[in-house]
Amino acid sequence: MVLAIVLGMLTGLSLGLTGAGGGILAVPALVLGLGYSMTAATPVALLAVGAAALVGALDGLHKHIVRYRAAIFMAVAGALLTSAGIRISHALPEKLLVTLFAAIMLWIASKMLRRPTADTPHQPPCRLNPDTGRLRWTGASTATLAAIGALAGLFSGMLGVGGGFLIVPALKRFSNLSMHSIVATSLMLIALISLSASAISLAHGARIPSSGWVFVAAAMAGMALGRQLAPRIPSDRLQQGFSLLTVVVAVSMLVRSYLL
């Protein structure tokens, strides 16, 4: 149980600091640290990430920095593909899922290690109305937000990840929201998608063992700590450390799957 507490805390701490990465670390922590299979780890990871993200989202709502209408809209779009993702996860061999998951982790690490560039569109489709401070709901912004939510929902069901690794860079590229607002909105969306995916997974017969509930509670505590520490740590250092950890975990999962 001590290991479940430590790994859960680290998962929630990562999510709280970056607004992403909770699911990416939750699944390997459960598989490598606690001996879960990928299929068994998915519902536990979803519940842990969703509950932890909810803690962060409530903090963002209290501070009035969450774009909750956009988050709810993207969550609805994501829910439409969550069931498809779960069916895919049960249909594919576990070794293939591990390979796909590791490939995604390595891609994320490479993106986070790169320094920001000036390639963001001058007029992103999702823009704030300077008069009201709210998002402009146009055809382009609606389609963009729907696509982000749908992809996040698909990966949530298929790989047990909350989708923050996609949501944060996507909103950063296709909106003019501040990074502070993006992280808070991402946490709300992750909470909505992960908790709904967890409910669907449980309805399909998944079970949460006692160590899984300990992991969930520890992740929530880690999130609370991460939201307190985030403003005090340079973002560049956070990204570099998270990227290196992601590479190590991805390689470890590949080694375990193919060589052990």
pLDDT digits (tens, 9 = 90+) for 3-47: 999 999 999 998 888 777 676 788 889 988 999 988 888 889 889
More confidently predicted of 119 and 96: 96
Q: What is the pLDDT of residue 88?
A: 87
pTM: 0.77
Residue pair 246/113 in contact (Cβ under 8 Å)? The answer is: no
Kindly state the average pLDDT of the residues 152-169: 74
Three state DSSP letters for 205-228: CCCCCHHHHHHHHHHHHHHHHHHH
Which residue, chain included where needed, has tokens 């560039």?
117
Examine the pLDDT at 1 and tell me if it is beyond 70: yes
Beta bridge partners of 135: 128
Examine the pLDDT at 220 and tell me if it is beyond 90: yes
Structural domain spans, the chain:
2-258
For residue 75 the two structure tokens come to 């969550």
Which residue, chain included where needed, has tokens 């590479």?
247
C-alpha closest to that of 223 among 79, 60, 90, 35:
60
Model confidence at 120, in pLDDT bands (50, 70, 90)? very low
Q: What is the C-alpha separation between 243 and 113, in angstroms, rounded?
A: 6
Model confidence at 156, in pLDDT bands (50, 70, 90)? confident
